[in-house]
Structures are given as structure tokens and as C-alpha cells.
Structure 1
Amino acid sequence: MRRHLDAVSPGWVEALPLGPLQEGMYYQSVVDAAADAYHVQHRFTFASDQQVSGDAVQAAAQILVQRHPNLRAGFTNLAGGQPVQFVPRQATVPYREVEYGEEFHRLAAEVAAAEYAAPFDLADPPLLRVAVVRGPDGRSELIVTHHHLLADGWSHGLLFAELFALYERARDGVELEALDHVLPQPADFRQYLRWAASADRAAAESAWRNYLSDLASPTLLAGERTPDSQVKESRISESPVVVSADTTAQLRRLASDCGTTLSTVVATAWALTLRTLTGSDDVVFGATVSGRPADVEGADRMIGLLLNTLPIRVKGKPGERLTDLLRRVFQEQGALTPHQHLASDTFSDQQVIQRCSTPCMFSGTCHAMRKVGCQLSRQAVSQPPRQLMPRITPSPLTSTLVTATDHCT
């Protein structure tokens, strides 16, 4: 390993295992290196009376990756094919400034699109870049683009809180050498990686195997495909549906009365929808979990990719009341909580997350929900097979059906 990493990144200081979702995400990124499915971008517009300091932005971004070693990590395969992430001693965050006159918003959007589309070399960190677009009258926009391997949705609030706190200190004249000390010591994502690597994999596999043991087939909403068929085109579309404030309140009351969570209610509703669409009383779909175990100190404050995508199975029982079904789904998922660290590719043998087999169009489903503070939102998580998933944003709920379909030949 040392010889390989010396060749890839001379001066590397640490090698780390990949987290559960990082493994699958890294594999897909390598297989389809030209795609940008795992690029994440945030844009911040500054008013004309708040000129952006390019020097302060660069300093803040640089200290950010210095404070969090995993944000300057690169990824590579060892000789035996095992993926590993390595941390270089230093990594300079790419930065560029662009100045425009008229049509500022259109041109800023073009810069953002170019930043988003530009590929990341996973073995040449950091997988994060920053751009500032300046317009007339002092208007400006900060564009931050990174690879999803570095951070999940939970982390974004933490990441940008730090970035802007560092920016303000740098703008106020704090020297680069002292900038790292203006914020408290951050939680260390590497502790989570070590915990995940040392967790009882055999017990987790046994728990999930029992949960999925008699599952007959994956739940698909379109035809199957043959093993030798090829993806001709992938397409993603969204259909937003706003849920009224009254309905949102009723859903929350239902969850409370049943002693479950709003996430359980939404997942069960999706399961019943799949049951109606497929005619099957035994459906399975993916769901994202935060992946932040309570027994890892500071997990809720870590910046990194901790979330995971796991199967939810809902098997109907004749005559079962909805309230009883909600409680059962909640209890079944609760029993699996200690085993949420398992990588999603483990489930391919159980026919849950896999590509299936007939000609033409096929699709699987995935439901994703994350909680940030008191807000509920949903994010699409790409995972084979391509997904159909609802997305929910803060109350009143906005449900968006995200459809990702592969057209095969």
C-alpha cells in the first residue's frame, strides 16, 4: 500500500477505510468518471454593499480543509482492487474569480454550470473548488462545488457555518496562521470511519439476511432487462406536489399517536403506493439514514459522508390496520438501527439493490429523508437500480417524485 500511495500522492500522511456509502459512490464514480451525478454545488449571492473578499474566501477554504483532514482526502484503488482514501499533508483548494458586466445572473449561472460539470480527479485532492463571480455595482456570487464523497446533506450546514465564520475572521484581518484557532476543535470524521471498520459485520449481515431472507424479488415499476442489455440513456425528472399545512399537521399527529416518526409514516405511504402500482403485498425500496451512531462521540457534529442507503421492506398482512402497520414498520426498522453501517452492495445477494434483467426500461425505488434541526427535507441519493423517489422539504411538506429511468437496448 505504501508504495502505491507514494506514487499517487507523495507526502501522504494517512490512509483511511471508506465509509459504507463511500464504497458504492466511489465505485460508481470510477465506472462513470465523466458523469457529474455525485457533484454537489452551493451558490451564495452577496448584496452590492457587501463586496466579497477573494483573499478571505481563499484563506477560509484553505483552513477548512486543514481543520478537516477528510475534506482534503483523495481516493484510489490498491493493487488488489481495494479502495482506500488517503490524506495528503497539504492540499490547495482551487480558486478562481470571474468579472462580468451586464447579464450578471445569466453569466454567473454559466460559470456555476461549468464548475459543476468539470470532473474531479479522485486521486488528485482536494475534491472541492471555489469560484467568485463579480458583477456590476458590487454584486457577487460565491460558488462552492465538491464531490459527494466528502460530505452529506447533514454536514452542509456545519461546513458552511465554519466556512463563513472563518471568512469573517479572515476578512477582519486575522492572519492565516491564527485563523485555525478562532473556532473550537471540530469533531473528527476519522473516528466514525474507524468505528465503522471495526463494527461487527457478521452480526449486521445476519440481521439483514434474516430481514430479507424470503424476499422473492426486487420491486420494479417498469419492465426487467436482460443481463447483456446496455443502458442507452438515463433520464431524471421531478414532479413536485405541495402538501397543505393541515395535511402536514395531520401526518405529524398520526405519527405521534402511533408512537412512530414522520419518516415512518412517509415510508409506509410509499410502500402502500408501491403495493398499489405493482400488485405485490411484499415490497422493498431504498431509504437513506443519517448513519450517525450515538455511541461515536461527536457524530452529530462531524463533517463527512456518514449517511447510508438501506432497504426498507414492507410485507402486508391480511386485515392489518394502518396504525398497526405503522407501528410494525417502526419496530422492524428500530431493530435494525445497530446494523445501519453495512455497505449497500452487501444486499445485492438478497436481490434488493441490484440491476435486473429484461429488455428496455426498468426502474427501482428509493426514499430519502433527512432531518436538519427542526426542518425536514429529502434528497435524492443515486443507487442502483435507478430510482423513483419522493422528496420532502420543510413544512408544509412539498413532496417531489424524482424519477430516474434507464432506457436499455
Structure 2
Amino acid sequence: MNTSQSAVEDILPLSPLQEGMLFHSGYDQDSRHLYIAQFSVDVRGALEPARLREAAETLLRRHANLRVSLTHRKNGDPVQVVRRDMPLAWQESDLGHLGEQEAQARAEELTAQDWELGVDSRRPPLVRFTLLRLGPERHRLLVTAHHILLDGWSFALLFKELFTLYGTGELPPVRPYRAYLNHLAARDRTAAETAWRTTLDGLGQPTHLARGARFRPAAPPRTSPSG
């Protein structure tokens, strides 16, 4: 690891699910689309972009697992390094000078471009925000992240906290992510492996590829609901 020690807040292990995602992300070094989660929210009414950006910055300071870079120790073990100085990846585009239909079409183009940019697990930050102004009181907030940080359930929490911070700015103290990792470490892993081995025994047969077939990792379908 070559991260400056002054910028490091903590060094955490990965959860088993995160380890699997990191392994598959590194399997195809050219893929930036293997584990991407992309969600958008349409906002109607007056919006203060600077205030929303400040709320996003507060969100990053609040949650250590949103400020991680992924690397390996000298012995090969994967770890996530929590950085104090992780920059907020934030972009704004003003499409308000366009007509409504043209602004909507351009917003779809920018959303697709953001998806094509992908998220490289080797190059943090692993979450980014894009605010599109579609009109005087119409905005779209696009959030794209590596699935190793967020899933659909936690994305809902992210948006809830983000707009709470934008509004009242008050949230209860967050439980450290390390507490969850400590919970996982305290479990009887051998017993869990035995239980799953017994449960899955005999359920499936190995998959055989046709002669001469070439395997390529498949990217998951894009998810981008509007709220």
C-alpha cells in the first residue's frame, strides 16, 4: 500500500461478499461495468445545488465505507483503506436553456455516458454524484457507485439521509461500519461453511461450455429508477 499515512483514517477487512465482488471485478481488468449501481431521482420544486452538494460532502464524512479505496496487503489479503481526504465526485450540468423535450433527451444521453464511464474498483472514489438542471424547478440527481459500496436497499438509505441533511441537517449518530465487520468476524465461520455445504449438497451439476466457446464475464443490467 502506498497511501499516505496522514490521509488514512482506518484500514478495514472486506466482508465475504465484498471479497467476492473484488475478485470478479479484477477478473476482467478491462471491465468497468461488472458491478455498477446507478440510480436517479427527479426533484420538483426549488433546489439549491450548493446546499445539496454540501449535504453530499457531509454524507461522505458521515460514512467511512463511502470513503474507501481498495488495495491488498503485502501478503495478498484485500483491505479497504478509509481516507480522510477522499474528494467528493460531483458534477453539475445546466440544461435549463433547452426546451423540455430536448433537455430530457440530453439528460438521457448524459445518464448513458455516466454509465459508460463505469466505476473502476482500482480507482477511487467509488461513488459519484451528477446533478442535472432540467428547468427552473426541475432537477435530476444521478448517483453511480460500485456495488461493493452500495446495493438497492442501502441506496434508499443514502437518498433518505442525503435529503434529510439537505433539509434539516440533523441525523442521529451513525453506527461505525467496523461494528458490522466485527460482527462478521465473531461468527463461527466453520459452522457456517458446514451448514451451507450441507444445504447445497446435490442441488446442481457443473456447467459445461460447448466445445470452442469463449467465456466473457456478463455485466448486470443497468438499474436507474426515478423518484
Q: Does 1:68 align with 2:36?
A: no
Q: What TM-score do you get using the length of structure 2 for normalisation?
A: 0.83
What does residue 16 of structure 1 align with? 12
Contact 1:75 1:85 in 2 (8 A): yes
Contact 2:70 2:122 in 1 (8 A): yes
Contact 2:8 2:84 in 1 (8 A): yes
What does residue 35 of structure 1 align with? 32
What does residue 148 of structure 2 align with? 149
Counterpart of 2:28, as a letter, is D
Q: Which structure has more RCO (C-alpha within 8 Å, separation ≥ 6)?
A: 2
Number of paired residues? 216
Contact 2:107 2:132 in 1 (8 A): yes
Once the two structures are superposed, what CA deviation does each residue of 1:37-84 show, in whole Å capped at 9, x if it has no partner?
31111111122xx23322112111111111111111111122232211
Q: 1:225 is matched with which residue: 199, 209, 219?
A: 209
Counterparts of 1:107 and 1:209, CA distance in 2 = 50
Shift in Å at residue 155 of structure 1?
Answer: 1.5
Runs of 4+ with deviation above 6 angstroms: none
Q: Does 1:204 align with 2:192?
A: yes
What does residue 186 of structure 1 align with? 174
Q: SS at 1:151's partner residue?
A: coil
Matches within 5 A, 1:152-167: 152-167=151-166
Q: What TM-score do you get using the length of structure 1 for normalisation?
A: 0.48
Q: Does 1:46 align with 2:43?
A: yes
Counterpart of 1:146, as a letter, is A
Q: Does 1:83 align with 2:78?
A: yes
What does residue 103 of structure 2 align with? 104
Counterpart of 2:9, as a letter, is V
Structure 2's unaligned 5+ residue stretches are: none
Shift in Å at residue 230 of structure 1?
Answer: 2.4
Shift in Å at residue 199 of structure 1?
Answer: 1.7
Contact 2:32 2:120 in 1 (8 A): no
Contact 1:96 1:132 in 2 (8 A): yes
Shift in Å at residue 205 of structure 1?
Answer: 1.8
Flag the 1:236–1:24 CA change in 2: closer, same or farther, 3 A: closer
Q: SS at 1:231's partner residue?
A: coil
CA-based RMSD of the aligned residues comes to: 2.6
